[in-house]
Amino acid sequence: MPELPEVETAVRLLRPQLEGRRIASAEVFWPRTIGGQAPAAFAQAVVGARVATLRRRAKYIVADLERGGRGAGALLVHLRMTGRLYVEPARAPRDKFVKLELALEKGKVLRFLDVRKFGRFLFVEDAASELAALGPEPLEPQFKAQWLQVALGARKRRIKPLLLDQEFLAGMGNIYTDECLHQAGIHPLARSDRIDAARVKRLHEAIRSVLRAAIQREGSSFDVFYRTPEGQPGSYQDQFKVYGRTGKPCRVCGEPIARVVVGQRGTHFCRRCQKR
C-alpha cells in the first residue's frame, strides 16, 4: 500500500505533466471511485478547470483547481492499496482496470487505474477543511524531535498504532513504521509515554532518514501493484531491514526477524535490537 514516499514520488513525477493543464473532459467508469457523487456532477465540477498546483498531504495527492485565476476546489486522490495515477496519450489503449479518466489538452489523458477498487478520486470544494485533521508532515521543518517527545508523552498508546494514526503523524504506513522502529531500537508495542528521550531522538532521525531514502529510491515495490507514474517499480525494498523479512537474520545483530500482529497489521521487528 502506497505510503508517504510512494505518494511523494507520484506527485513529483506528475507535477510537470499536470500543473497548468486544463481538464477538457471527465469519464468515470466506476462511480464508487468518486465517492458516490453523481458522475455528471463530478464532470461539471472539474471540466474546464485548470490544475493550479499538484502537491502531497499525508498519503493524499492534492490537485488544487482554478478557474479564471480563482480557486475552484480540489481533487483529492488516495491510492489506497492498488491505485495508480499516470498521464499517457489518449490514443494509448485504456487498461481494463482504469476507473476514471480526465482528458487534458494536447491529446493527453490522466488515468486512474485501481485493480482492488479501494482508491478514491474525489472532488472537494475546500481541500483545507477536508485535510484539517491530519497530523504534521514528518519531512517539514516543523517536525522536531522535541515536538515528538512531547506528543508521545501526552499519549499512552502503543507506539506502532500511534505512528500509523494519520491524525498523529501524516504519511506513515505499515512498511516505514516497522523500518523506523527498528532503526530507532524501539519495540513496536512500547508505550509511547515510556520511551526514553534518547530513543525518541533516534526515532525522529529514523523517520526523516528512512522516508528521505525511500523517496530517493522512488518508494518500495514488493508486489505487482506499486509502480511509479512512469510504470517503474521503486527500489527501496532492497534496503528493508525488517519488513517482509520474517525468520531472516537481522542485518544488525543476526537474530531472526520476528513477526507479530499489532492492530491487525503484520509487524516485523528484531527481538534483540528492539527490546521491550
Query: Which residues are catalytically annotated?
Result: 2-3, 59, 265
List the one residue from 41, 92, 253, 260 that touches Zn ion (CB under 5 A): 253
Query: Applying CB under 5 A, which part among 8-16, 190-198, 218-226, 250-258 lies near Zn ion?
Result: 250-258
Task: For residues 122 and 32, give the distance between their C-alpha atoms in angstroms, rounded to a whole number.
Answer: 10
List the one residue from 250, 262, 267, 269 that touches Zn ion (CB under 5 A): 250
Query: Applying CB under 5 A, which part among 130-138, 166-174, 203-211, 263-271 lies near Zn ion?
Result: 263-271
Does position 270 interact with Zn ion (CB under 5 A)? The reply is yes
Does position 139 interact with Zn ion (CB under 5 A)? The reply is no
Specify the residue, 55 or 272, whose C-beta has the smaller distance to Zn ion: 272
Q: Do the Cβ atoms of 239 and 5 come closer than 8 Å?
A: no
Q: What is the length of the chain?
A: 276
List the one residue from 158, 252, 258, 259 that touches Zn ion (CB under 5 A): 252
Specify the residue, 164 or 270, whose C-beta has the smaller distance to Zn ion: 270
CB count within 10 Å of CB 163 equals 27
For residue 52, the one-letter residue type is A
Does position 273 interact with Zn ion (CB under 5 A)? The reply is yes
Does position 184 interact with Zn ion (CB under 5 A)? The reply is no
Query: Applying CB under 5 A, which part among 98-106, 127-135, 146-154, 248-256 lies near Zn ion?
Result: 248-256
For residue 248, the one-letter residue type is K
Taking CB positions, which residue lies at the least distance from Zn ion? 250
Kindly give, in sequence order, each residue whose CB lies less than 8 Å from that of residue 228, ignoring residues fewer than 6 positions away: 9, 10, 13, 218, 219, 234
Dihedral (CA of 267, 4, 238, 201) sign: negative
Q: Do the Cβ atoms of 193 and 158 come closer than 8 Å?
A: no
Specify the residue, 58 or 270, whose C-beta has the smaller distance to Zn ion: 270
| Distance between start and end Cα atoms, the chain | 28
Q: Interface residues with Zn ion (CB under 5 A)?
A: 250, 252-253, 255, 270, 272-273
